[in-house]
A and B are shown apart, each in its own frame.
Chain A
């Protein structure tokens, strides 16, 4: 299958999942490196190419290796790299790397293995909704399969050795992607972000930073990777995420209790603009789609399905629009296409 095949489908992690209202998806990422081998940022081209080959061979040990597609960054156009980034399959950092860097992605996009990013291997497992445990089980299994033929850099004291000491130990970054419009609209998001940051977790906007995050999408992840078993890191994150969800739900209840007319107005105006605008920037679209998604959650838009809106959140990005159009588009042409895409979606409702 080619990259274009992605356009006709959505990632498996965009299916329905637990706590799917405020939660989009759960992700587990593991950093691994090969023993006695220079880290990608400091390695020669020869070493980076050798690492790519070793990982390629290691995939023989993965039971469903045939369901993985693979691309090397140096054989992809800038637009294709951007497409993978917009689908959360590779990082910005990998997209900008060349020799020996690449990615393995399984067909439902729930598993991806980046090679020669900051570390030799960055393995990720994505699940819809709040489901860190399942994401962990899948990542763990893939890690075990690759390890059958790879010799990882490991020390009994410091665990898995990584290029940056902030990842050392478990090499685990667990994160949950959350949609928190209730907390943003009630202006409670800042104290929540500050409180979560203080207990050793990181909060960042999925698109943009802090309380300015476009689309009201946030990612909460662990910072500490050493000194605790994986299960403990995951359980702690999950517990805090559940508390944030509780805050979000309460904020929504309060909005619907005291300010129901304002919520109707907020969602209705977003619908009105999305249904009629002829030019739409990415940032504006993300914020308006966020209002639509909130409207669906609150039962104000009975003809719409949350997952369709979640797909739009990805399809309105520049590389997706250009791949779909089959041509490079100027920023203004993209704004036109984006407005068209959304209008067409709402027409069918």
Chain B
């Protein structure tokens, strides 16, 4: 059988999503993978991801021997577009699909590829990320969770925190200290693909800013994992972690496709500005608000144009790495501002929160605004992003 062309594939995907995007389940669905707080949300999204995968619209560009579709990135992009067009819910297994998956594909052993990739796609195995610790977040290179070698095993002791989907995960990408005596803090780190459901590993849910759950603290007490869980080689953890962050921030490709968050839709905010009333008139009639609306429209459009420009070599010659490096900072901050602006448009009705029938929007924008901080803090805070851009793009000296 010959592969479908991108056009054929796109047409089929369009038809499939038009029929298969699920009905509103009657409870609030997460807008991002970091907000999966209830079992019914989890079950619903896991079913959805499996369905998308089985239809061939996830991992379409991953190799067939590991459960992928063996097609091109263009095929996957077409499927993702169709998914977005019909407003499919988010895909659940973000860390597996977008970070662990491409990492394993790129540098994992044959055994690791065969063991993990297919079940990442089908959402059979949920993955989480163990980078941040209670005492070391931005200063990731200082992570202290201990991994001591004993024969063919490592013994894990310490704690990770803000572990998204930690309570659901079967595996964790884990950054741990294998050599406390290394010449510098980075050299003592190693990277593991660690099982979660083993003796000595325990998670505890943490309630978020929004009042929902979604991440955990993860405790390690003499948990034993096989040395085969190492990826990238002992002592190379920092390099592997940096690579992982590039997948996470979208600066490096290879992700399975689909999307794992639904950003605030500018057109909905425009609509809100036209319908929300302030002082008896549409919010949009307020010249100050209208002016801000134009600003946001321009800023949003600049980001989507930037996404295209980054592929046009002549237009990125001065600082070739700039656009990929700035996009996480830009999108996360703009989404935060936009959803906050929506609250301004709501005026006094911004007083209401999720579940209140007197609210104008079901508390949607308030929750959206609060959730926006997940992206300005998670994955490296905006301040850390500015350090990185200043140092790696503009060549400014490191901050110490």
Is A bound to B? no
Q: Interface of B with A (CB < 8 Å)? A: none
